[in-house]
Structure 1
């Protein structure tokens, strides 16, 4: 049995082990090592696909940069990378003399994606070990410089990418993204349970495509009057389904950049401010704990 499978099985059954067994199994887990120069790592995730994770990740990263933060954005979706399109970053990254990729920058955000390393029309047909190796290369094989926040856009599901990230990188917290319909909420809840089992903090939920604003009467039209969204962790913001956001995605200019004064940009800016407050409180608590232990 290979080490990757051993670690995965350990994560699945750790809650059933106690005492010496748990201590012995833990020795086989990879050691979490910080990424040089990166202060906080925020994962944008959802068990469900098609709920707008990449849109949230791109706009959230840009809103954090507008707050004056040094921001990086890593596309963790190996099979279906979309960050190059959403952030208008293309071409293979330059490699420095230490064999580290230098992430290209746009909108004051450093970006890196598998989509920059393969032709647009090509597909990646890999098994788990190769996917996990690629994630490690993107994560730690890059010269990110000094970053306040590294945002990681993750693929659907609760598989290899999520396990690899949680095992190898000190994730500060997770932003979950879901649409309000029952199927999405139920699968997103599974994603939340996974991160809870991995002892990764969950900041909250972004509810996407909940409503739209009528262009004629300017009234808010709800798509989902009944929803199980309250079964998830606390809601951070609720986003609409809107042609303006879709237009920005297609053009490679995030809505917070193209329409900085729009109500949609204000929602993403609110999200960035809320997360910044959480990070600040975490930092203050760490400093307090460090001082008390000295």
Structure 2
């Protein structure tokens, strides 16, 4: 099982704070450092959230880390045109020496789109656009050198841009698609994804079984797709430490998804997720950008227990 850090850069979410946490992740032995792609906090009333562009920060981390995988969970497809996103990810992949993964989704947070003047069409159109985006991104990456690539869709058109964006990884960086939808999200994942993210733990068995069934219906072997889950965590070695870290968790449904306790409690939950969801990758969802010791504890006390 791969263990990764997933940062929701809330308070004090500057690049320096993000870099410190990424370096702690690398030192801890965890497999990767991923970040959300948001411009507002998940609580729209939280005016302390400091927006940072996900791919700009990942470009910096690509040059200031050496081992960990880097990526988004997930980039909102509404934020960037597909040709631009394919080029950006290819450049960051080259900057990292081939350590980048692209998590991408249809986008869901209307409030941040309105706040920053980004268009936010209805759900059906967002998924139609995502399907075209995935076709364009993989087409630009996978078309052999010297061969033209064009796409004429309802929402996006690409007309033989000449020299295509080239990634360090072949055939291309892993694609991560995930969510809780019953049909369109798993269908797109079965078609395009290297990893299907099952979102949060509640209902994970049903989502995994549904995804496996859709894979089989479409001719994809479900065993060829990694399965991952997001796990909010507040881990400590003393009651006071656990309580302090629990305070960083957001209120509402996400807190109910969290594992709160000692390293052995986290290990027990990981075993359950492996059994329930067939999970091989877990993203520890972290909210405090200034608590690098939390990541180090997970690496020192949880990782060896696997």
The TM tier, using the shorter chain, reads 0.3 to 0.5
Q: TM-score, normalised by structure 1?
A: 0.41
